[in-house]
Structure formats: C-alpha cells, structure tokens
Amino acid sequence: MYNERKRGNDVEEPIITIDHLTVKYAEQQHPALDDISLTVPAHSWTAIIGHNGSGKSTMIKALTGLVTADAGTMTVAGMPVDEAHIWDIRRKMGVVFQNPENQFVGSTVADDVAFGLENAQIPRDKMIPRVQNALAQVGMTDFATREPAHLSGGQKQRVAIAGIVALAPDIIALDEATSMLDPEGRVAVLQTIRNLKAQQDLTILAVTHDLEEAAAADNVIVIDNGHLVASGTPPEIFARGEKLIDMGLAVPFTEQLKTDLSNAGVPLPAHYLTEEEMAEQIWKLYSTM
C-alpha cells in the first residue's frame, strides 16, 4: 500500500536472508525456531504474525546476534551475521523491543533517545538536533526532560521508537512496538514510520498481532510454533482465510465479511480485498441486483 513504487519492480535485492535457521534455547525441549528460510526484500514493509511463543521475537533477536543460531546462516544488509560483522549489522538494523520498560536505559526521555548515538560516538553537538528531531517525529518533544517513571507504556514505546529513529538505520525491526498505544496513537505512529520509510528508503520488519496492520504491509510472514507457515503478499496470505483462523489469528474485518457473504451465496473475488475494494465490490453487486 505504501509501496506502489516498489511493487512495480518485481526483483528487489533481499536485504535480509535467513537460510535454514534453527534456534533452541537451553532447557527448552523444542526449538524456538525450526529450520526457517526466508528473505526480506529491501525497502519493503514485512509483517511477521503468529501466536504468542511462536518465535517471532526470537527471529529478530537472532538477526541482531542476541541469540545464537544452532544451525543455519543469516545475512543482513549484505553482511553475514557473525562475530566479525555483528556490530556493523547492529548499526544498520535498529530494533524496537516488545517491552518498553525494559529498553529505557536513559534517566530521561532525551537521555534515552541519545543512548544509541552515544554508543555510535556521535559528537554532542550533532546529537542534540538528532534527538530533538527524533522526538518530534514521535510527538514526544514536550516530554524531553521527563523521567521514565512518569510516562505511560505507550509514551515509552514512542520514546523507544525515537531512540531507533535517531540512529537512522537502514532496517527497523518493530517487535509489537505499538501494542500499548491507543488506536489513534497507533495510527499516528505507524504513519510516522511509513513517512520515514518513504523518506529514507527504510526496510521495515514489523511483528504484530494487528491483522489490519499486517494487511497494509507489502509482505506477510506467518510463523507458528517455530515453523514458517506461510509467506507472501497480504492478498495471498489472507486468501487462505480458514487456515489462518485455524492458527488462532483473527482475520481482518473485510475478510470476515467476504467469507460470510460467500457463505451466504454472494459471489466475490477470491483474493484479499482492502476496505475500499470491498466497498466497491459490494456497490457493484448492489447496483447489478
């Protein structure tokens, strides 16, 4: 949806490749990720969906070298994920983690946004505008001197996003990074990320439980119980409605409506429909009745 320009050129260099990746935590019986292979095209928005405990966070941690692979190889931004490249990879790929409380390092909002810049040894006079700019992007400018104890979960998530945005990576991985925002806040923050993506040609990897958000992505990856179940464009994925329901994932409203209408004998195209497309279809049907 945000990628009309890119969708035309069918061959995009993959910016992330995962090849037969297996990760098993010590003391766990089953691997958290079992023989996963996939690629993420550069400049795309890829949504990762799946149940709690299916291994989504583990996958992102493996890509940034926070958990070690038991088997398989990965590349990020053209570099193999190994000891020698991991710090370069971490500068190319920013991660916003699931729990905003546990990634707030600084003692105030501005200090926290600056944390990554300090690590990257950006001089202080260059840090100041970058911190301000990143805070403005997520609408947290007025909170710059606040301490984390006086922020809500959603506000902390915005700060966490700002901390990554300030670093200007090529890839941003969002691990349920908007889960604590209210609906308007979520729309606003996602829009901000979309704008950034367009401006800076970012690649976004977004773990989400929000199928509306997944439906708006370029690609969707479905993980279940450590296995890669499906990967493709949202229309391809949502065309397999029943299967997704089996896996306990909610299907977006338009899909639900389509299934119900089909069951009621109303003919509709098999591929995934956006809200507008759906409205158009219904309007067409209605006018031909």
Partner 1 sequence: MTNLMIGRYLPGDSLVHRMDPRSKIVLVFYFICIVFLADNGLSYLVLGLFTLLAVLLTKIKLIYFWRGIRPAIVLILFTVMIQVFFTRGGQIFWSWGPFALSTAGLLNAWFIFLRLVIIICMSTLLTLTTSPLDISSALSSLMTPLKWVHFPVDIIALMLSIALRFVPTLMDETVRIMNAQRARGVDFGSGNLIQQIKAVVPILIPLFVSAIQHAEDLDDAMTARGYRTDAPRTTYRIIQWHTRDTLSFGVFIVLTVIILFVRTA
- Alpha-carbon gap, residue 152 to 210, rounded angstroms: 21
Q: Pick out residues in 103-142 that bind partner 1 (CB under 8 A).
A: 103-108, 110-111, 114-124, 127-128, 131
Q: 50 touches which of partner 1, ligand ATP, Mg ion, none (CB within 5 to 8 A by kind)?
A: ligand ATP
User: Does 28 participate in binding ligand ATP (rule CB under 6 A)?
Assistant: yes
Q: Angle, to 10 degrees, between the axis of helix 124-137 and the axis of helix 109-119?
A: 130
Site string for ligand ATP, 30-59 (x = CB under 6 A): --x-----------------x-xxxxxxx-
Q: How far apart are CA 122 and CA 9, in angstroms?
A: 36
Nearest Cα residue to 63 out of 30, 39, 43: 39
- Say whether residue 231 binds Mg ion (CB under 5 A): no
Residues 201-220 that bind Mg ion (CB under 5 A): none
Residues 6+ apart with CB under 8 A from 256: none
- Strands of 103-188 (E only): list them: 171-175
Which 71-130 positions form the footprint of ligand ATP (CB under 6 A)? 98
Q: Which stretch binds partner 1 (CB under 8 A): 11-19, 61-69, 197-205, 234-242?
A: 61-69
Question: Site map for ligand ATP, 145-164, x if CB under 6 A?
Answer: --------------------
Alpha carbons 229 and 247: distance in angstroms, whole number: 10
Alpha carbon distance 115, 121 (integer Å): 10
List residues near ligand ATP by CB under 6 A: 25, 28, 32, 50, 52-58, 98
List of residues contacting Mg ion (CB under 5 A): 57, 98
